[in-house]
Chains A and B, each alone.
Chain A
Amino acid sequence: MQKPYRQRRGQKRRRAPDLLVRIRNLEFSHESRSGEPLRLFYGINLDIHRGKIVAIMGPSGTGKTTLLRLIGGQLHPGSGTIQVDGEDVPTLDNKSLYSLRKRMGMLFQSGALLTDMTVFENVAFPLREHTTLPESMVRDMVLMKLHAVGLRGARDLMPSELSGGMARRVALARAIALDPMMVMYDEPFTGQDPISMGVLMKLIGELNRTLRLTSIIVSHDVEETMAIADYVYLLSEGRVVGRGTPQQLQQDGSAWVRQFVEGEPDGPVPFHYPAQPFTEELLGE
């Protein structure tokens, strides 16, 4: 006898695992300008759960953006695994990688809007490239996405006519055009005025909740990021030096965490770039 519909459906539909991004023993080096290999990550482990806003924070130059590019498959790790939605990103062929990327959105620091297209065309771009929707439906979807970021009225503007904050909001509308499962934000608050910053914070939180996204925010803006993040990883010198909820990190006693959270100029991250002792240099030839 055939089982009831709900039971059959339940059998076929496996519940998606809670973990969306799983990074284990990630090592990565890149070539410096002089051709020397520069080691950026020393065996990083990181978990990102579905539906959460996870912040990856750390001083400039610690490889936060590189980590996003590794998750997005734009860079290949030296060793270790990077799994996104159960797929091992570095081993994917081009077709599978592009298929996975359709389920990811990324907001670049610069916005990365296509400068020869209007705001409307920029948001319509992924829809036109990946779907065969009729133009009337593309229009409606674009207007919905632009409305969500408050820029429906700016659809005919060119990227050069937008302020920095508006450009990021348009880029955000474009990033969610295909209704992705997760959005990666690269320094979303850098260089923003307080109003734009507030708007972006509100949008990231709201979109994450209403669209059931998973958000990964790379940032060094402590206050703003801590305010919206569910969980924070703190990176420094190629390692995870702190992790926890924002409240846990605020109370963390580690010198690394204290220096970063309180913005102290000297500490485990030294004020001086490594050099020979000053007196030696002054007295030497």
Chain B
Amino acid sequence: MERIQQLLLQLFSVFRRLGRGQLFLLHLLGGMASLITRPGLVVRQLYSVGVHSLVIIVVSGIFVGMVLGLQGYNTLVDFGAEESLGVLVALSLVRELGPVVAALLYAGRAGSALTAEIGLMKATEQLSGMEMMAVDPVRRIVSPRFLAGFISMPLLAAIFTVLGVFGGYFVAVPLLGVDDGAFWSQMQARVDFYDDILNGIIKSVVFGFVVTWIALFEGYDATPTSEGVSRATTRTVVHASLAVLGFDFILTALMFGA
């Protein structure tokens, strides 16, 4: 009986947290309007969230593309279809790997940094201090970061995808001898803007929304101690990664399922 009671309490606490997360989202979305008059706040965060994530996105994009090129070539060459390597690399990146891997990297790099920053601001009473100065910390601190994350994520995914394609090209054409024209022309013929590219963009927009929301909420809801902030940062990476993979399945099923 006691165990059931504990289970119910835990379940209740999970739902309560979900509710708090949604109220937090409404609050931060409510703060978006004020950003129109203060674009500088968003630009600073775009630099911090987006530009600082560029290195890991660029390097990972190139390597993922190169690995795709190698693996794809080894499979396709058995069927004499190595000239379709460009299509394989591009479709894999545009539809799946670009948005998903970029979102996972974004969660690890920018998401954890956002959580730690907001959590530490809470632990050092900076958020309370703002409240007492009659400044809403959600509007002043959280909303600009959310908008910056929401804008950055699709751009980072696009950069990841483009560099991945070039990584694949570098392995396929100069190293493995795949025909240059075939690599690009097949890609051009088979990759559809609406079915592939647009769906990839939609995925990265959803991931950007979800990952940034989770990261900011975890920071804002963190227990204001060093242990609390550390736990919140870990939760951000775990929850955001799982959310990305879960949403990826749902979106893929909706986009390409039938």
Asked whether A and B interact, the reply is yes
Residues in chain B near residue A112, CB distance under 8 A: 124-126, 128-129
The answer to whether A101 touches B132, judged by C-beta atoms less than 8 angstroms apart, is yes
The answer to whether A102 touches B134, judged by C-beta atoms less than 8 angstroms apart, is yes
The answer to whether B124 touches A72, judged by C-beta atoms less than 8 angstroms apart, is no
Minimum Cβ distance to chain A for residue B145 (Å):
12
- Chain B window 95-135, contacts with chain A (Cβ cutoff 8 Å), 1 for yes, 0 for no: 00000000000000000000000000100111011011111
Partner of A108, one of B129, B134, B135: B129
Query: If A98-B136, A129-B140 touch, does A74 touch B126 (CB 8 Å cutoff)?
Result: no
Partner of B131, one of A74, A126, A171: A74
The chain B residue sitting closest to A74, CB to CB, is B131
Q: Does A130 contact B (CB under 8 A)?
A: yes
The answer to whether A106 touches B134, judged by C-beta atoms less than 8 angstroms apart, is no
Residues in chain A near residue B132, CB distance under 8 A: 72, 74, 101, 104-106, 108
Bound-complex Cα distance A7 to B120 (A):
55
- Chain B window 128-153, contacts with chain A (Cβ cutoff 8 Å), 1 for yes, 0 for no: 11011111100010000000000000
Q: Does A42 contact B (CB under 8 A)?
A: no
The answer to whether A108 touches B128, judged by C-beta atoms less than 8 angstroms apart, is yes
Bound-complex Cα distance A174 to B133 (A):
9
Most buried by A among B9, B121, B132: B132
The answer to whether B133 touches A110, judged by C-beta atoms less than 8 angstroms apart, is no
The chain B residue sitting closest to A72, CB to CB, is B132
* Interface size of B in residues (CB-CB distance below 8 Å): 14
Q: Does A99 contact B (CB under 8 A)?
A: yes
The chain A residue sitting closest to B9, CB to CB, is A35
Bound-complex Cα distance A69 to B131 (A):
11
The answer to whether A126 touches B129, judged by C-beta atoms less than 8 angstroms apart, is no
Residues in chain A near residue B134, CB distance under 8 A: 98-99, 101-102, 126, 129-130
Q: Does A256 contact B (CB under 8 A)?
A: no
Residues in chain A near residue B140, CB distance under 8 A: 129
Bound-complex Cα distance A43 to B134 (A):
28
The answer to whether B124 touches A115, judged by C-beta atoms less than 8 angstroms apart, is yes
Residues in chain A near residue B136, CB distance under 8 A: 98
Residues in chain A near residue B125, CB distance under 8 A: 108-110, 112
Minimum Cβ distance to chain A for residue B107 (Å):
23
The answer to whether B135 touches A110, judged by C-beta atoms less than 8 angstroms apart, is no
Minimum Cβ distance to chain A for residue B122 (Å):
11
The answer to whether A110 touches B124, judged by C-beta atoms less than 8 angstroms apart, is yes
New A-B pairs, 19, CB < 8 Å, besides A114-B126, A129-B134: A35-B9, A69-B128, A98-B136, A99-B134, A101-B133, A106-B129, A108-B129, A109-B125, A110-B124, A112-B126, A112-B129, A113-B126, A115-B124, A115-B126, A129-B135, A129-B140, A130-B134, A171-B129, A174-B133
18 pairs from A and B in contact (CB 8 Å cutoff): A74-B131, A74-B132, A98-B134, A99-B134, A101-B131, A104-B132, A106-B129, A108-B125, A110-B124, A114-B126, A114-B129, A115-B121, A115-B126, A126-B133, A126-B135, A129-B135, A129-B140, A130-B134
Q: Nearest 3 pairs between A and B by C-beta?
A: A112-B129, A101-B134, A112-B125
